[in-house]
Amino acid sequence: MASNQEEVKLLGATGSPFVCRVQIALKLKGVEYKFIEENLRNKSELLLKYNPVHKKVPVFVHNEKPIAESLVILEYIEETWKGNPILPTDPYQRALARFWSKFIDDKVVTAAWKSVFTADEKEREKNIQESFEALQFLENELKDKKFFGGEEFGFVDITAVFIAFWIPMIQEIAGLQLFTAEKFPKLYKWSQEFLNHPVVKECLPPRDPVFAFFKGLYQSLTASK
Amino acid sequence: MADEVVLLDVWASMFGMRVRIALAEKGVEYEYKEENLRNKSDLLLQMNPCHKKIPVLIHNGKPICESAIIVQYIDEVWKDKAPILPSDPYERAQARFWVDYIDKKVYDTWRKMWLSEGEEHEAGKKELISIFKLLEETLGDKSFYGGDTFGFLDLGLIPFYTWFYTFETFGNFKMETECPKLMDWVKRCMQKKTVSKTLADEKKVYEDVLGMLKAIRESNH
């Protein structure tokens, strides 16, 4: 189904790992869309109209119908544009893909974030431990596969872009050794494979400004202690 | 080859009830195993090592965890009968969004209201009511969230009805007053045998929660 730029919109913010997920899926499937950059400190009326419940990005708008929550958006994109599938056809494998993606959101993203961006030291320590345990589960799940999706990257890999691109950045800022080649050899190898994939490479935000932004966030947090 | 279906669950769990309703809708026979969350079985720990939580569906020896994921799995495997997810991709996205919303908001807000006092308790209560008001608004004038038929979001939400009496008693409010249209929807859902036969008794749930609270208070001394 042909789509022109008017029909498909993505409200996002450069530097958001959740927005990046959607961009990777759209790129992989060759879907053209209009990207609308949101200023999250001054949310537009459009964003508030399209996502009144959470007021967050990404919001995917197809023929004026909005969808929020990155994993929900990925499922919608998969069902609407069938080329280069990101989910397997077998129901059990699909359930596993959904499980690990949810796991990444529930256990890795929050804990990794709080390992860095929490003022309280005890909280940080607790989250570092949780992140470590969660990453270990993923390391074990990956085994010797090239991608979580097998020979080609899929739903879980896309969800895990946070691990590949964002964790190394935020851990550098905080001086943490959370995700390293030494501690997680398979996951690390996966991250390099994934980041260098031609489709993914084009969707990653520019590192320097994103790094600077998070560094600023970290400094203001630690300075206000 | 006969399908072997086992469900690890706890009778009062809203999340477990979702799975039980789905299995009933599809007419799937299964073995139910009641877990004691204070003494988890080896099977549970083996089948859900990441979270150690229920429900877990074990289909021919293979575990599936997380209630919303289990329900989608059931819908995809036993696809010839009683479809649960809508067929339209946009409607599917909306159903998934709202089930995710319920999962992110209801239980944590309930706990906030339940285990706190004074201002924090009042704030929790207000938030809990506003969550259900939003869900009521989302229903609009439809008979079910799925339109004319009971679907994924209906199934995702209805088990929480068994906890309404508990919410009301601890929060000192009435769902009928706050969300009358939602209560009408509850009545429509309860006309379905798969729902009415599956849902736990709300008074028993309340007794169980009282017991939990007592245990929490005792362990705090």
Q: What is the ipTM of this complex?
A: 0.95
Spell out which residues of chain B touch residue A95, defining contact as CB-CB under 8 Å: 64, 69-70, 72-73
- Give the closest of B62, B65, B92 to A92, CB-based: B62
- pLDDT above 90 (res B166): yes
Using the Cβ of B94 and the Cβ atoms of chain A, whether some distance falls under 8 Å is answered with: yes
Q: What per-residue confidence (pLDDT) applies to A6?
A: 56
Q: How many CB atoms lie within 10 A of CB B167?
A: 22
Structure tokens at B8: 């690890």
**How far apart are the C-alpha atoms of B108 and B114, rounded to whole Å?**
10
Q: How sure is the predictor about B219, in pLDDT bands with cuts at 50, 70 and 90? A: confident
Using the Cβ of B76 and the Cβ atoms of chain A, whether some distance falls under 8 Å is answered with: yes
- Give the closest of B64, B73, B93 to A72, CB-based: B93
Question: How does DSSP assign B91-104, residue by residue?
Answer: HHHHHHHHHHHHHH
Three-state DSSP class for residue B168: helix
| Contacts for A25 with CB less than 8 Å, ≥ 6 apart | A73, A74, A77, A78, A86, A158
Query: Is A86:A155 a contact under the CB 8 Å cutoff?
Result: yes
Q: What per-residue confidence (pLDDT) applies to B216?
A: 84
The H or E element spanning position B5 is strand B5-9
Cα A60 from chain centroid (whole Å): 15
- Give the closest of A53, A71, A79 to B92, CB-based: A79
At residue B207, φ and ψ (nearest 5 deg) are: -60, -40
Query: How many beta-carbon pairs below 8 A join chains A and B?
Result: 56
Using the Cβ of B221 and the Cβ atoms of chain A, whether some distance falls under 8 Å is answered with: no
Q: What are the 10-residue block averages of pLDDT along chain A, 225 residues in total?
A: 69 97 98 96 96 97 97 98 97 98 97 94 96 97 96 98 98 95 98 98 97 94 72
**How far apart are the C-alpha atoms of A32 and B174, rounded to whole Å?**
49
- pLDDT above 60 (res B205): yes
**Is B73 in Cβ contact with A91 (below 8 Å)?**
yes
Angle at B163 between CA B159 and CA B164, to 5 degrees: 105
- pLDDT above 90 (res B42): yes
- Residue recorded with tokens 């009144």: A52
The H or E element spanning position B216 is helix B202-219
Q: A58 preceded by cis ω (within 30°)?
A: yes
Mean pLDDT along residues B162-173: 96
Structure tokens at B191: 């006309």
Q: How sure is the predictor about B1, in pLDDT bands with cuts at 50, 70 and 90? A: low
- Give the closest of B64, B66, B92 to A102, CB-based: B66
**How far apart are the C-alpha atoms of A45 and A31, rounded to whole Å?**
26
**Is A137 in Cβ contact with B93 (below 8 Å)?**
no
Q: Which of A2, A12, A57, A61 lies closest to A32, judged by CA?
A: A2
A5, HSE (Cβ side, Cα atoms, 13 Å) = 3
Among chain A residues, CA nearest to B104: A106
Query: Is A29:A77 a contact under the CB 8 Å cutoff?
Result: yes
Q: What per-residue confidence (pLDDT) applies to A2?
A: 53
Mean pLDDT along residues B100-128: 94
Q: What per-residue confidence (pLDDT) applies to B90?
A: 97
Among chain B residues, CA nearest to A79: B89
At residue B178, φ and ψ (nearest 5 deg) are: -75, -40
Strands of the A65-68 sheet, one edge to the other:
A34-37, A8-12, A59-62, A65-68
Instruction: Name the minimum distance, in Å, from the CA of B129 to any CA of chain A.
Output: 15
- Give the closest of B66, B72, B96 to A72, CB-based: B96
Q: Which of residues 78-137 of A touch B (CB under 8 A)?
A: 79-80, 91-92, 94-95, 98-99, 102-103, 107, 137
Angle at A121 between CA A118 and CA A127, to 5 degrees: 65
Q: What is the DSSP letter of B191?
A: T
Among chain A residues, CA nearest to B59: A92
Q: What per-residue confidence (pLDDT) applies to B91?
A: 97
Using the Cβ of B100 and the Cβ atoms of chain A, whether some distance falls under 8 Å is answered with: yes
Q: What is the pTM of this model?
A: 0.96
Q: What per-residue confidence (pLDDT) applies to B218?
A: 85
**How far apart are the C-alpha atoms of B16 and B4, rounded to whole Å?**
18
Mean pLDDT along residues B131-156: 97
- pLDDT above 80 (res B36): yes
**Is A95 in Cβ contact with B93 (below 8 Å)?**
no
- Residue recorded with tokens 């004026």: A64
